[in-house]
Chain A
Amino acid sequence: MEIIEHLQIGFSTAATFSNVLYCLVGVVLGTAIGVLPGLGPVATIAMLLPVTFGLSPASSLIMLAGIFYGAQYGGSTTAILVNLPGESSSVVTALDGYQMAKQGRAGKALATAALGSFFAGTVATLLITLFSPPLAEIALKFGPPEYFSLMVLGLVASIVLASGPLPHALGMVVIGLLLGIVGTDVNSGTERFSFGTMQLADGINFVVVAMGVFGLGEIIANLENETTRSLMVKKVTGLMLSWAEIKGIAAPVLRGTAIGSVLGILPGGGAMLSSFAAYALEKKVSKNAANFGKGAIEGVAAPESANNAGAQSSFIPMLTLGIPSNPVMALMIGAMIIHGIQPGPTVMTEQPELFWGVIASMWMGNLFLIILNLPLIGVWVRMVQVPYHYLFPAILVFCGIGVFSLSNATLDIYLMAAFGLIGYVFRKLECEPAPMLLGFILGPMMEESLRRALLLSKGDPGIFFTRPISATMLILAVLAMVIVLLPALQKKRQEAFTE
């Protein structure tokens, strides 16, 4: 069995004392920065890169990988406890997770996230071990038309996310798309909506928008009625999941894992799409659909599994083709180059102990994370009970420093403040920020791939329908659209009847 041999090579590298230690350091650090709002794995890995110069290539990659997937675990904690998604993938976790925390079910939400993540991480690592090379071929099938159709599908899904009025949600998606346009247009070099400032030439960072709209917006909203309303969650019901709850989340976790594993492979944001897609799918298939957005446990289980599966499978193009599928992978490639390893298809054959060592370390890392996170839940839950007027200045501090650390620019802090105010106003008007954030993420990729595809086809839109993967996704998007709009239309007719 070839696979046993590979795993033997892998574990003989990963299971040495020092590498186990670096893996542990990585996941602990990752969890910590994931929990701290604003500070993401990209900034942390960039800052820690010089530290890894002194380590062996395998040790440094094992540690950096640990930081990355550890941050996925940690990120959900802040999203659930204080409604602060530090990563695009935890935006959807915050939707139901935060509601659960408000109801005193923070422990259950955190446990769901940890267990779902563990399952998904383990399964996705198994996939990498068994099928890396063939899976990498999927990424190559995605040309510009396929990306465009995928983005269209994603946008339709974003409307499903909304639980408020449909036209409001549509408008929020469009505002997100417009905000995403800010910056230099890659096709013509024109700087759009940058107001002549260089700092806006590369667009607005996602974290700035998320911290502002979610973080600051939520703080202001919470301070609104603080005299009449208690913000402290006094009673926390059971930390652990009941058997019935575990049975209830089994199917969402499985579906989330499947979606995440596939979408994670695609370069350019597949992993972040996966949590949105998993949530949207769950909201449509779940019997509990009415509770989504109000603290549905399935709404935490599915996206959390999806984003962890996606985080693991995003290693596939990096390890097998040398192509980074997200900024963290680009940093890992930088780390390899600094160690004198040429990232590319040859790594697997020329550096088998490195390749399989990193994969083997993911099994250990996921195990460490679940051991680390389950007991921590009790500690985190107590944080929700800290009086809010002590808590919120601390949240602001972490948001401020985190946002500044993105690119050492104070402009990002001012932008975050502005988005905080806007976020609060939107909240007052029943306009949900989640669809806006998805539009913000997808917009630039959608426009770019649309224009790129038309450039390749010399302006012929047929390219979207003649390529099978693209056509399939467009059909799915139309179907999803019908499913979304039908209930709304029917409701309207009923309303007309009753009037």
Chain B
Amino acid sequence: MSLLIKSPKDFWTGVLYLAFGTATLWIARDYPIGTAGRMGPGYFPTALSLLLMGLGVYILARGLTRQGNPLGGFAWRGALFVVGATVAFGLLLETAGIIIALVVLICGSALASVKTKLDWMSILIAAGLIVFCVLVFVKGLGVTMPLFGSWFGG
């Protein structure tokens, strides 16, 4: 396998483009295409999907024939905690309320960094950030976020 792939970056970009193009082509299969003069809703997505698939194939082929740079490591820890904490924030925002959601977002994402330590400085910054957000966004600008959400009858 790795003998075949000369440029992993090109190869995987090609795979990604090809997969994305195939997926959009598949989803758009039912949209009426119409004619060039009177285009239907499917004309643009279908044409773009095919173009993307073509580019994907070209880049993929290049990855097999032309020498390129290796991929390098993947930041699993960073990706997991950053994305996970953000999703948790979304889940908790209206159910548990902004305060708890922020605590989870800040603490959860902080775990993404190996340098994070539970010291007074961190707690102070986190608390300050939460107070700032509540004052500015909820009280000041009136963004409709409950301080305590539906779980607490808010």
What's the Cα separation between A38 and B17 when bound, in Å? Answer: 28
Choice from A167, A177, A190, A416 contacting B48 with Cβ under 8 Å:
A177
B105 and A396 form a contact (CB under 8 A)? yes
- Which of under 10, 10 to 19, 20 to 34, or 35 or more describes the interface residues of A? 35 or more
A454 and B39 form a contact (CB under 8 A)? yes
A216 and B83 form a contact (CB under 8 A)? yes
B105 and A175 form a contact (CB under 8 A)? no
Beta-carbon nearest neighbor of A212 in chain B: B86
> Chain A 384-410, CB within 8 Å of chain B: the 1/0 string?
000111101110110111001100101
What's the Cα separation between A29 and B78 when bound, in Å? Answer: 33
B145 and A404 form a contact (CB under 8 A)? yes
Enumerate chain A residues within 8 angstroms of B51, measured Cβ to Cβ: 174
Q: Is A344 an interface residue (CB 8 A)?
A: no
Beta-carbon nearest neighbor of B113 in chain A: A389
What's the Cα separation between A324 and B67 when bound, in Å? Answer: 52
Choice from A178, A190, A429 contacting B41 with Cβ under 8 Å:
A190
Q: Assuming A424-B75, A429-B12, is B110 touching A417 (CB within 8 A)? A: no
B window 113-137: CB within 8 A of A: 113-116, 121-122, 125-126, 129, 133, 137
Q: Is B20 an interface residue (CB 8 A)?
A: yes
Choice from A221, A417, A447, A455 contacting B86 with Cβ under 8 Å:
A417
What's the Cα separation between A170 and B142 when bound, in Å? Answer: 42
Q: Assuming A178-B24, A404-B145, is B40 touching A410 (CB within 8 A)? A: no
Stretch in A89-97, A181-189, A259-267, A289-297 touching the partner? A181-189
A223 and B112 form a contact (CB under 8 A)? yes
A414 and B114 form a contact (CB under 8 A)? no
Enumerate chain B residues within 8 angstroms of A400, measured Cβ to Cβ: 86, 89-90, 93, 105
> Chain A 126-153, CB within 8 Å of chain B: the 1/0 string?
0000000000000000000000000000
What's the Cα separation between A459 and B21 when bound, in Å? Answer: 28
Enumerate chain A residues within 8 angstroms of B44, measured Cβ to Cβ: 177, 181, 447
B16 and A178 form a contact (CB under 8 A)? no
A193 and B106 form a contact (CB under 8 A)? no
> Chain B 33-60, CB within 8 Å of chain A: the 1/0 string?
0011111110011001101100110110
B75 and A221 form a contact (CB under 8 A)? yes
What's the Cα separation between A336 and B26 when bound, in Å? Answer: 47
B49 and A188 form a contact (CB under 8 A)? no
What's the Cα separation between A188 and B42 when bound, in Å? Answer: 10
A392 and B9 form a contact (CB under 8 A)? no
Q: Assuming A393-B126, A410-B94, is B45 touching A458 (CB within 8 A)? A: no
Q: Assuming A175-B52, A216-B82, A400-B89, is B116 touching A167 (CB within 8 A)? A: no
The minimal Cβ–Cβ distance linking B107 to chain A, given in whole angstroms, is 8
What's the Cα separation between A192 and B26 when bound, in Å? Answer: 12
A404 and B115 form a contact (CB under 8 A)? no
Q: Is A220 an interface residue (CB 8 A)?
A: yes
Q: What is the predominant secondary structure among interface residues of chain B facing chain A?
A: helix
Enumerate chain A residues within 8 angstroms of B85, measured Cβ to Cβ: 396
Enumerate chain B residues within 8 angstroms of A187, measured Cβ to Cβ: 39, 41
What's the Cα separation between A77 and B154 when bound, in Å? Answer: 37
The minimal Cβ–Cβ distance linking A32 to chain B, given in whole angstroms, is 9
Choice from B21, B31, B86, B114 contacting A226 with Cβ under 8 Å:
B114
Enumerate chain B residues within 8 angstroms of A411, measured Cβ to Cβ: 90
Q: Is A348 an interface residue (CB 8 A)?
A: no
Enumerate chain B residues within 8 angstroms of A71, measured Cβ to Cβ: none
B48 and A429 form a contact (CB under 8 A)? no
Q: Assuming A187-B41, A220-B78, A458-B37, is B87 touching A47 (CB within 8 A)? A: no
B113 and A410 form a contact (CB under 8 A)? no
Q: Ordered nearest first, which 10 A-B pairs have the shortest CB separation?
A: A459-B37, A223-B78, A413-B90, A224-B75, A389-B113, A417-B86, A190-B41, A185-B41, A389-B115, A410-B90
B: which residues have CB within 8 A of A? 9-10, 12-13, 16-17, 20-21, 24, 27-28, 31-32, 35-41, 44-45, 48-49, 51-52, 55-56, 58-59, 62, 71-75, 77-79, 82-83, 85-87, 89-91, 93-94, 98, 102, 105-106, 109-110, 112-116, 121-122, 125-126, 129, 133, 137, 141-145
A: which residues have CB within 8 A of B? 44, 47-48, 165, 167-168, 170-171, 174-175, 177-178, 181, 185, 187-188, 190, 192-193, 216, 219-227, 387-390, 392-394, 396-397, 399-401, 404-405, 408, 410-411, 413-414, 416-418, 420-421, 424-425, 428-431, 447, 450-451, 454-455, 458-461
A388-B115, A404-B93 are known contacts; what are 11 more A-B pairs with Cβ within 8 Å?
A167-B59, A171-B55, A220-B79, A392-B112, A394-B125, A396-B82, A396-B105, A404-B143, A410-B94, A455-B38, A461-B37
A-B contact pairs, 29 of them (CB 8 A): A167-B58, A167-B59, A171-B55, A171-B59, A175-B20, A178-B20, A178-B24, A187-B41, A188-B41, A192-B41, A219-B82, A220-B75, A220-B82, A389-B116, A396-B105, A401-B145, A404-B143, A410-B94, A413-B86, A413-B89, A414-B90, A417-B83, A420-B83, A421-B79, A421-B83, A428-B74, A459-B37, A459-B38, A461-B36
